[in-house]
Structure 1
Amino acid sequence: MSKGVSTSTDKIIVDKSRSHRNTAVSKAVRMTRERLQAGPSNTSGFDREMLGLHIDSMLQGAIAMPIFVLIVTGIGIYLSQSLDLVLWGIMGLCVHALGILLARRAKTLDIPVELVPSWQRRFLIVQIVFGCCWAIFMLQDCDSCGPVNYGFFKGAVLLIALAATAMSTFLLRNALLFTFIPVILVLAGITLNTRDAGYMALTAVVSTSLVFLVFMTKRMHRANVHILSVQSEKDDLIAELEVAKSMSDEARRRAEEANLAKSRFLASMSHELRTPLNAILGFSEVMSTEVLGPLNNPIYKEYTGDIHRSGQHLLDLINEILDLSRIEAGKYDLSEEAIQLVEITEDCIGMVQLKARTKNISITEQFEYGMPSVWVDEKSMRQVVLNLLSNAVKFTPSGGEISVKVGWTAGGGQYLSIKDNGPGIPEEEIPVVLSAFGQGSIAIKSAEQGTGLGLPIVQAILAKHNGQFILRSKLREGTEAIAILPSKRVLQSVPAVEDAPAVARRRKSFA
């Protein structure tokens, strides 16, 4: 039972149940990118974050304003020798406590975006009430004090309060303006009633300071919004990178699983298909040669020949697939030795000569003889030459011509060129035919179709030899395939080493 489970697990290598992850990851990437591209175009996009920062600022500086109110109350009582400011101080502390309680309440809640304007209005109302407290402070008077001294005290307190409020409320839009509008209105009313030059100057100074501080707080507000925007973009980019990394890891995992599945499939195919194919080839050859006795019906003999040719064709295709798989896996090892490229080419021409003659195709040779040997894998180079010659014979029409050249390259290497006058390949299809399992339109229409692995294998073998493969073709003008071996693969000829007695005899004869 366990064996059956193991076999089933081996066959189902790619876990399709996890395919939904790619969809979710792709959706997350798309949403993150849209959020980056269509980010908040105005400050309202960060109102929730700004409100949260304002609440934190209020809670962190909760003790500062009560201390300031107590100091102002104490100094006012000292100057006026009256307890009139005590009631004002209690009122100011109560309003401030109301604001702190509201901030603590908001801190415990997860305020949704749609309720942010409502909470902003609540805090603005608190600020307006606190502004009314400062307006009431400005209405305080001291009959026993000098007008200049008490007026100077109230002006100094008001300017300090204005600056402190600006620093503590710049995160809440328009809070400073709403806080001190009641104060400006009271100062303007006092100035109109008294026509006092001191109040007139104080009104002008406070109004000018308010305008300046409102301008500065707006700039600080925009600066904080920009900081939040940059932070948000950074967070979104980090999120997108993490999602992309997750997507890349998932794709890599699936690719590894697919590669494992391919390797196991090819290994299984090698064993399962090649064994019966060898039997088919052997028995069909025995039957076609009539080793065990003549076949009474000549049609049977023809059929056995067809079986043998078809089986051989299928075995060749399987071998090509396995070769390409080994090359891609990096397990295609070269067994290098010194060979003559001309000799290899002549042998391969002899192997395809019979098929070329049946199609009335002539093969012309242009070889540069006397070239030194090259250091390559003989089996691989035979496969390269045979693949290129077989393609040329396959796609050259009856009565055509194939030209085979072997010679020197400009860089000191050696090349093999095989050119036919067949139908050719459209230039835009050349990358297709050089890819694995790729076939051009001419090959698809041809009666002799293959797997499309011949040229990719040739290209890969030459790359293993640090060589180069060039395919030149034009429609209705034929095709030229060029295999180039680099100069470092060419073995330099070394003169024979003579033994010492022979050298001594030659020197004596010269003497």
Structure 2
Amino acid sequence: MDMFDLPADRMSERRPNETSDRRRSVTAKVRAARERLTSTSGTRPAFDLELARIYAHNRLSALAVVLALAAAITAVATIWIEPRVALTWLAVVLAGHAVVVFFARRFQRAERNAADIRIWRLRFAAAELVNGLAWASIVILLGQAEIASEAAQVVSLFVMLVGVAVATMLAASIPAAVFAGTLPIAAIVIVVYSLRGGAASSAVAAMTAGAEIYFLLLAHRLYRNTLETLEFRAEKDALIGELEQAKANSDDARRRAEEANLAKSRFLATMSHELRTPLNAILGFSEVMKSEIFGAHVTPTYKEYAGDIHDSGQHLLNLINEILDLSRIEAGRYELNEESVNLAYVVEDCRHLLTLRAKNRGITIRESVEPGLPPVWADERAMRQITLNLLSNAIKFTPQGGEIRLKVGWTASGGQYVSVADTGPGIPENEIPTVLASFGQGSLAMKSAEQGAGLGLPIVKGLIDLHGGSFSLKSKLREGTEVIVALPASRIISALAPVPEKATPARNRAETPAAALRRAG
């Protein structure tokens, strides 16, 4: 759907969301760019620190494996070189690896910050260079051996592959350390065997060059994967932080809402008492004046004024009662006084009460009640208020000469329903949520009907929800509105089956009292 096809209200909701998302995205990009500019590696400083930590952890955790490899290579090398020389190479390798371990342990124990990462990376690269030269020295020893057989060339190639592979896997999180640790080994192998000449030596040099390129590419791939993992983890942590902040804001908003609701309840309780006291006096005295109990008015207009005062006071009292009822429903403090209720009788009684008002407006009420409806377990006052509110709304919004259809019957699930349908102006579909909200009124209803507080339908929905029932509103413009409230089947009171009498034995039924006495005697 094109943006210009959207309603104006949906477009207004969409624009702030898009603007907020765009602003958040731009802010994140600017922050990331600023951090990359201040970093020595082009990544975020926090990532630089984490990458160095990964390097130190890898080097320390692989200490035993590296020492075992060095010892194995030393044992194999004794075939072509003197054991004393081989052990000397082992000592050099151990010394080179000790430099790497020293800086790794010192890095883990020191207090680190983003500003020192560049220095530590240089230290790690220098340590890897020393370690790489130590490993490459055996290639020189094997190349200068008196018996330089093909097996020695294979061992040299093996040493190169092991050294480059170990440096690549353990130092992949710091690219400079990978270059410093692998290039000396590969360069020495290439130089030694290129100077010797011969097809086998040239093959070893070529394979060494290819292997070095491969491992450098592998190191770059591992580095990118590690960096992406850190980025994903940072995004996850940021999302968790936003969710925690949103939860904190939600809890704070809920707390403020509860405080506001409590203040509202206190205000309504206070105002209901303060308003009902003078209202009772107004209603009582206006009733006396309207009925002319103490004598007729000198001016007949005073009687009309007294009637208007009484009607206005009664309207205000009804409004206060509706507000209090809605407040109790929303606060969950409305208590149902449940009993056996004949729903058809309640609906008939409410229709009778409002028949005169409907006739005055020229409206016909047609009632349809299915026969044989059993009673329901419900609050009679609540069911009466539901019916009165629905009928009052229908009368209010039905034009002169209109018709109201009132139905009571069975639902498909075995419950009972009350349906009130009118021939009024109807409600636009986008205004139905407004009508169902507290104090909400539709635009067409305000233009064509009497003014009201907009509490009738919310109270109906709240009361039927307390009974575990359902509320349905269907409306079409210029055709009318139908509201259906239904009670669940669990509230239907079914007639109990008669209790069967205990059967009397045939011998006892046939035996007379006199015979029983003789048998007992």
Global fold match (TM > 0.5): yes
Moved more, 38-47 or 190-199: 38-47
Give the Cα separation in 2 of the matches to 1:158 and 1:363.
Answer: 100
What is the Cα-based RMSD across aligned positions, in Å? 5.0
Tell me the residue number matched to 2:55.
54
Instruction: Tell me by how many angstroms 1:309 deviates.
Output: 1.1
Is the partner of 1:148 in helix, strand or coil? coil
Aligned length: 462
1:110 aligns with 2:109: no
Structure 2 residue 148 is the aligned partner of structure 1 residue 148: yes
Letter of the aligned partner of 2:148 in structure 1?
V
Within 1, Cα distance between the matches of 2:439 and 2:149? 99
Q: Which residue in the other structure is 2:474 paired with?
A: 472
Shift of 1:219: 4.9
Map 1:156-167 onto structure 2 (within 5 A). 161-162=163-164, 164-167=166-169
User: Which residue matches 1:21?
Assistant: none
Contact preservation (8 Å) 1:59, 1:104: no
Counterpart Cα distance in 2 of 1:92 and 1:148: 25
Aligned counterpart, 1:249 = 251
Q: Determine the structure 1 residue equivalent to 2:310.
A: 308
**Aligned counterpart, 1:270:** 272
Contact preservation (8 Å) 2:100, 2:124: no
Correspondence for 1:419: 421
Question: How far apart are residue 218 of structure 1 and its match?
Answer: 4.4
Aligned partner (choices 428, 439, 445) of residue 443 of structure 1: 445
Q: Kindly state the Cα deviation for residue 316 of structure 1 after the two structures are TM-superposed.
A: 0.6
Shift of residue 216, structure 1, vs aligned partner? 4.8
Distance 1:172 1:258, change over 3 A: same
| Separation (CA, whole Å) in 2 of partners of 1:220 and 1:48 | 17
Question: Which of 326, 333, 336 is matched with 1:334 structurally?
Answer: 336
Distance 1:487 1:87 in 2: 91
Change (3 A) 1:285 1:104: same
> Which of 351, 354, 378 is 1:352 aligned to?
354
Cα offset, 1:365, TM superposition: 4.2
Query: Contact 1:360–1:399 (CA<8 Å) still a contact in 2?
Result: yes
Q: 1:507 aligns to what?
A: none
Cα deviation 1:178-214 (Å, max 9, x = unaligned): 4443454455445555546775565456445544544
| Kept after mapping to 2: 8 A contact 1:79/1:150 | no
Which consecutive unaligned segments of at least 5 residues does structure 1 have? 1-25, 500-511
SS at match of 2:175: coil
Decide whether the 8 Å contact of 1:425 with 1:474 is kept in 2. yes
| Contact 1:51/1:172, CA 8 A, preserved across alignment | yes
Aligned counterparts of 2:166 and 2:409: Cα–Cα separation in 1: 91
> What's the CA shift for 1:285?
1.8
Structure 2 CA distance for partners of 1:279 and 1:213, relative to 1, 3 Å: same
Q: Could you say what secondary structure the match of 1:471 adopts?
A: strand
Task: State which drifts further: 354-363 or 201-210.
Answer: 201-210
Amino acid across the alignment from 1:251: A
In the alignment, the residues of structure 2 paired with residue 482 and residue 98 of structure 1 have an alpha-carbon distance, to the nearest angstrom, of 80
* Gap regions ≥5 residues in structure 2: 1-19, 502-521
Contact 1:323 1:457 in 2 (8 A): yes
**Shift in CA distance, 134/419, structure 1 to aligned 2, threshold 3 Å:** closer
**Whole-Å Cα distance in 2 between the matches of residues 393 and 375 of structure 1?**
28
Q: Which amino acid aligns with 1:325?
A: S
Secondary structure of 1:479 counterpart: strand
Q: Are the counterparts in 2 of residues 363 and 401 from structure 1 also a CA contact under 8 Å? A: yes
Residues 70-469 of structure 1 mapped to structure 2, 5 A cutoff:
93=95, 97=99, 100=102, 104=106, 108=110, 110-112=112-114, 116=117, 119-121=120-122, 123-128=124-129, 131=132, 146-148=146-148, 152=152, 155=156, 161-162=163-164, 164-173=166-175, 175-191=177-193, 193-195=195-197, 200=202, 203-204=205-206, 206-207=208-209, 209-211=211-213, 213-225=215-227, 227-229=229-231, 231-367=233-369, 371-407=373-409, 413-446=415-448, 448-469=450-471
What TM-score, normalized to structure 1? 0.70
Give yes or no for contact 1:59–1:100 (8 Å, CA) kept in 2: no
**C-alpha separation between the residues in 2 aligned to 1:311 and 1:168?**
87
Higher relative contact order (CA 8 A, sep 6+): 1
Would the aligned equivalents of 2:376 and 2:491 in 1 still touch at CA under 8 Å?
yes
Are residues 138 and 444 of structure 1, via their aligned partners in 2, closer, same or farther at CA, if it must alter by over 3 Å? same
Query: How many angstroms does 1:268 deviate by?
Result: 2.0
Q: Distance in 2 between matches of 1:430 and 1:119?
A: 66
